[in-house]
Amino acid sequence: MILRYRRLAASWTTVIPLLSVTVLALAWGRTAIPPVVVVVAAFFLAASVLAAVHHAEVIAHRVGEPFGSLVLAVAVTVIEVALIISLTVSGGRAASSLARDTVFAAVMITCNGIAGLSLLVAALRRRVAVFNAEGTGGALATVATLSALSLVLPSFTTSKPGPAFSPPQLAFAAIASLVLYGLFVLTQAVRHRDYFLPVESGGEAGGGHADPSATRHAVASLALLLTALIAVVGLAKVESPSIEAAVRAASLPQSAVGVVIALLVLLPETLAAVRAARQARVQVSLNLAYGSAMASIGLTIPTIAAASLWVEGPLLLGLGPTHIVLLALTVVVATLTVVPGRATLLQAGVHLTLLAVFLLLAVSP
């Protein structure tokens, strides 16, 4: 029965990414998309998310932690950055704040949504969620620094009008983001890998993995993972006109578009993190949460900085007062959650409440 289930999973997770890319190719570039195509694209978008999670788990089992969560976080973020650039270029001045809105949404969703949901699932099953405070604390510190540097400081600098960096400031922020992200990857994957491994019930770091898949299966899953992620982000772009139309029809602020895009793109990480939490591998869930937030900033800001050389219009990066307060509260709460290395339903509830506040303010500022 188990063998039959695995064969069924392997078959549909192979076919869905290929079909999704085909649908993407047929729908790409159309100015007016019929409602039927929108529905079909939404179906394959959801199916591609599930396929991406399956292949990410195959790769994680083969390469072990923290490389498995690193592969998924970086792969999703690279394609997310491509989506942001594409929408920014095509949107012109109207999309000047899209990068800021999407990156900030990604930070709030990962640090409060993915982390909070993972802690909730783990605490419901085992009363206390246990993780490695050293590795998670370092990841959180990097996320906080990158967020303040890229999203808060532009609101207070005076070299250029508006919440924007001057060219030298933007260049420094881009270089600093790359350096910090590269230093974190070096720490996570090489020098202190044990800080990011799942914690066993006895308190020791351990692998917590099933038997590794064959190398050829892992390579095939990597190719299908990238295909599925391309489909997820591409179909999200196909759906974006419908999303924007729905936002306008509901009289919601333009920043809600960035929130919806971030929610769609982060679905693979969310499902993978919840699955890991159900298996008492909360450290893997937090690796995904903070790793995705870090990659979103560390890769988006340098790319946006390079794109600003030919993209017309201002590049607004600074957050407003309300969002700065929400970001500061998130960092404080996350610090108090991470320091003990253990969390209960209370901490999970606080993080999910912060996410709910963010979503409320996104639709009703």
pLDDT in tens, 162-201: 788 888 898 899 899 989 988 988 888 878 778 888 776 4
Residue-level pLDDT at 92: 54
User: Dihedrals φ, ψ of 145, to 5°?
Assistant: -65, -45
Q: Calculate what percentage of the chain has a pLDDT beyond 90.
A: 27
pLDDT at 209 over 50: no
Q: Encoding tokens for residue 152?
A: 């808060």
CA distance 293 to 159: 28
What is the average pLDDT value for the chain, to the nearest integer? 81
pLDDT bracket for residue 345 (50, 70, 90): very high
pLDDT bracket for residue 213 (50, 70, 90): very low
Q: Which domains does the chain have, with CATH numbers?
A: 2-363 (1.20.1420.30)
Question: For residues 349 and 147, is the Cβ–Cβ distance under 8 A?
Answer: no
Residue-level pLDDT at 124: 92
Q: Quick one: 19 exposed, middle or buried, by C-beta within 10 A (0-12, 13-18, 19+)? A: middle
pLDDT at 247 over 90: no
pLDDT at 132 over 50: yes
What average pLDDT does range 238-253 have in this prediction?
75
Which sign, positive or negative, has the C-alpha torsion 348, 349, 352, 357?
A: negative
Residue-level pLDDT at 152: 94
Question: For residues 95 and 87, is the Cβ–Cβ distance under 8 A?
Answer: yes
CA distance 145 to 199: 26
CA distance 359 to 365: 10
Q: Encoding tokens for residue 41?
A: 């694209």
SS3 content of the chain, % helix, strand, coil (to 5): 80, 0, 20
CA distance 197 to 199: 6
Which of 35-44, 146-155, 172-181, 325-334 shows the lowest per-residue confidence on average (mean pLDDT)? 35-44
pLDDT at 117 over 60: yes
Q: Calculate what percentage of the chain has a pLDDT beyond 70.
A: 81
Residue-level pLDDT at 87: 65
Cis before 365? omega within 30: no
Q: What is the pLDDT of residues 12-52, one digit of tens each?
A: 788 888 888 888 888 776 666 777 877 888 888 878 877 87
What average pLDDT does range 6-17 have in this prediction?
70
Task: Report CA-CA distances (Å) from 151 to 52, 68, 145, 198, 330.
Answer: 30, 28, 10, 31, 14
CA distance 44 to 250: 25
What average pLDDT does range 335-339 have in this prediction?
94
Number of Cβ atoms within 10 Å of the Cβ of 141: 16
Residue-level pLDDT at 137: 92
Q: What is the pLDDT of residues 54-84, one digit of tens each?
A: 777 777 677 666 666 677 667 767 766 766 7
pLDDT at 330 over 60: yes
Residue-level pLDDT at 200: 61
Residue-level pLDDT at 264: 76
